[in-house]
Chains A and B, each alone.
Chain A
Amino acid sequence: MDVIIDFISLVLKLAVPLTLAALAGTLSERSGVINIGLEGTMLMGAFFAAVGAGLSGNPWVGVLFALLIGVMMGLLHAFFCLTLHGHQVVIGVAVNLFATGITPLLTRLVWNREGASDTLPSIAAVSVPLLKDIPVIGKLFTNQPPFVFITLFIFIVLFIFMKRTKYGLRLRMIGDHPTGAQTQGINVKKYKYFAVMVSGSIAALGGAYLSIAHSNVFVLNMVAGRGFMGMAANIFGGWTIGGSALASLFFAAVQSTRYYLIGSPIPDQFVLMIPYVATLIILTAFSRNSRSPEGLGKI
């Protein structure tokens, strides 16, 4: 039983950045904006969380920094895509390139070296009172990073927003038929801006988890494709909040096999390949049935 609980616990930890990236992807793409830039936004989030935590000594200040930079990256993406009518994938690639260029530049400025930051104060794991005393599954609520619960909270909020509020309904309509929404008197651009900016802050939060919760140091390019995998999870999940979250959990479960294969005769590189290959196979097997928002990528 303990083995299973440990496995679930590990999967939850690995799922945090993927889920946040996937939810960010869903929110943005349901509004009709392709956001390849999530990868770079996560990197910026990881970096600025490290700066905030390092300078103030309080990791929660880092989280705040990450949220702010996430909103700004979202604003940048939205401005170039929606106001200046740039090609959304190209703009996303530029956002990623910007992030991979500016983070080593600033790392050198802040910590006087390029590869990584100093050791940072990180967010301590928490135990949930009462729930932690439940036999067996209580272990899931003991010594968990608070990000697990934050992610759960964001998931619930987004789920209710999309399914149960008129704003969510409008956002979904905008993603499918922007002109139709416009004739209804909905300010399409405002909704899209809102979605992309919130999406940015959620992705940056995922980055912050990597630098100040999952570890206690910012390392160059530490996001390592998690933003892209989140986007893949969003597609696998059929562009829905619930689907994205489930797909992320599944991807995290695949990733966790890495920890069980340490010391096995399989070469490291092949073990490291597992999440990428799994993403490929899953996308190929399931993308026939999934339907993207009709207005995706259109201005």
Chain B
Amino acid sequence: MSIKKFFRRFSFDSLASSLISLLLSFVIGGLLIWAIGTNPFQAYYLIGVGAVGTMKNLANTLASSIPLIFAGLAVAVSSKAGLLNLGVEGQLYMGAMAATLCGLYLPATNRFILLIAIMIASMLGGMLWALIPGVLKAKFGTHEVIVAIMLNYVAELFTTYLIIVPFREHGSTVNQTAEIPKAARLSKLFPRTQLTTAFILAVIVAIIVWFLLRRTTLGFKISAVGGNRDAARAGGINPTAYVIIAMLISGAIASFAGTTEVVGKYFRFRENFSPGFGFTGLAVAVLARNNPFGVIATSILFGGLSTGCLYMSRITGISGHMSNVIQSIIILLVSAPRLFEIIKGSRKRT
């Protein structure tokens, strides 16, 4: 498949509508900033500086996009099967916990083997937690959205218990595990920033996901189940099995969103370290329309938004939570297909 074919496949209309929705979201965000008494141009300028102003800021933007790429890919894979994985948050906690324990207790003799073991443990943790809503949905018809959300709370509380009681660092006043050994850490791509080789891993996983969904029978069957479950069944595909497989893949990818934070950033499991990566992942997948490469681009945008907003909040006094607000407006506008039709329609009429 050539690059040309890839771009032909990528519908111009959907790209244009995403970009227009994005622009509109920034305008509405700007109006909000203006309404609370700050100059929106200054605010956006500061967000821009904070996000890409220096090489260091740019590296940190890329670094903060890493968990979002994994979370976004996880949601994208499940969406292809017609299921919305809202349990990414819980899956990333469980995966990260399994990975941390591996890093802490496995012998650190061979760095390569240790890192592989950590990754496998992470995937198993995430898959286990993703299996629950998948199986409950398949066997009992339980509402997967509510189940996943409840499991998020359970995973958060369970991992908190683990770092407070059995695996707490000795003498620490904060709820966290001890540091994992040097051998278990990812190396930095750019000194004195948080950008690690995890970014490369994220890009590789995105390519794998793209290949899996577009170029393999498994991916085709998953998409068929997501497209029309009855038609897939008539075509001899067992929808339940493929929904569960998609959830397992999704959970494995989701776990990396947490694990790369542990082995690349904190070097330990900290209490509640995820600021809601799971739900941001949903936003990322929606904006990218489940395209794996779109997920990378969107994650970098959202990563920049959050590092930029943090920088802005230090100077202007607007809360760094502004990034959540802008993100939510982006989801609203991007996931409303009629909006673009209305804009297009009115242009034709005039």
> Which residues of A does B touch, CB under 8 Å?
36, 76, 80, 83-87, 89-91, 93-98, 100-102, 104-106, 108-109, 114, 225, 228, 231-232, 235, 267-270, 272-273, 276-277, 279-280, 283-284, 287-288
Contacts and interface: CB of A to CB of B under 8 A. Distances in A.
Contacts of A279: 146, 150
Contact of A288 (B86, B141, B329, B338): B141
A89 B150 contact: no
A96 B279 contact: yes
Interface size class of B (residues with CB under 8 A): 35 or more
Given A83-B338, A106-B36, 20 more contacts: A84-B342, A85-B338, A86-B337, A87-B335, A89-B84, A91-B331, A93-B86, A94-B283, A95-B332, A97-B331, A102-B324, A105-B321, A105-B322, A225-B149, A228-B149, A235-B146, A267-B164, A270-B161, A276-B153, A284-B147
A276 B150 contact: yes
Contacts, number: 144
Given A114-B319, A270-B161, A277-B154, A93 B282 contact: yes
5 contacts: A90-B84, A90-B286, A235-B143, A273-B154, A280-B150
A101 B322 contact: yes
Contacts of B318: 105, 108
Given A105-B36, A228-B150, A100 B337 contact: no
Given A94-B328, A97-B283, A105-B322, A86 B336 contact: yes
Contacts of A105: 36, 318-319, 321-322, 325
A109 B38 CA distance: 11
B154 A276 contact: yes
Nearest to A39: B149
A91 B332 contact: yes
Contacts of A272: 157
Contacts of B331: 90-91, 93-94, 97
B327 interface: yes
Nearest to A283: B142
Given A228-B150, A267-B165, A287-B142, A98 B322 contact: no
B146 A231 contact: yes
A288 B140 contact: yes
Which 10 pairs across A and B sit closest by C-beta, in order of nearness? A101-B324, A84-B336, A98-B328, A269-B161, A94-B331, A101-B325, A97-B328, A86-B336, A84-B338, A276-B153
B319 to A, nearest CB: 4
A102 B161 contact: no
B117 interface: no
Interface string B76-107: 00000000101000000000000000000000
Given A228-B149, A273-B157, A85 B336 contact: yes
Nearest to A106: B36
A86 B328 contact: no
B291 interface: no
Interface in B137-172: 140-143, 145-147, 149-151, 153-154, 157-158, 160-161, 164-165
A47 B341 CA distance: 35
Nearest to A289: B141
Contacts of B150: 225, 228, 232, 276-277, 279-280, 283
Given A89-B145, A90-B286, A105-B322, A95 B328 contact: yes
Contacts of B324: 97-98, 100-102
B231 interface: no
A102 B165 CA distance: 35
Main SS of chain B's interface residues? Answer: helix
B136 interface: yes
Contacts of A232: 143, 146, 150
B16 interface: no
B339 interface: yes
A83 B327 CA distance: 21
A94 B282 CA distance: 9
Nearest to B133: A280
A76 B331 CA distance: 13
Contacts of A76: 332
Interface string B166-199: 0000000000000000000000000000000000
A62 B312 CA distance: 32
B149 A283 contact: no
Given A98-B328, A108-B319, A284 B339 contact: no
A122 to B, nearest CB: 25
Contacts of A36: 145
Contacts of B227: none
B323 interface: yes
Interface string B220-234: 000000000000000
A283 B84 contact: no
Contacts of A84: 336-339, 342
Contacts of A276: 150-151, 153-154, 157
B81 to A, nearest CB: 15
Interface in B105-147: 136, 140-143, 145-147
A15 B339 CA distance: 39
A75 to B, nearest CB: 13
B338 A100 contact: no
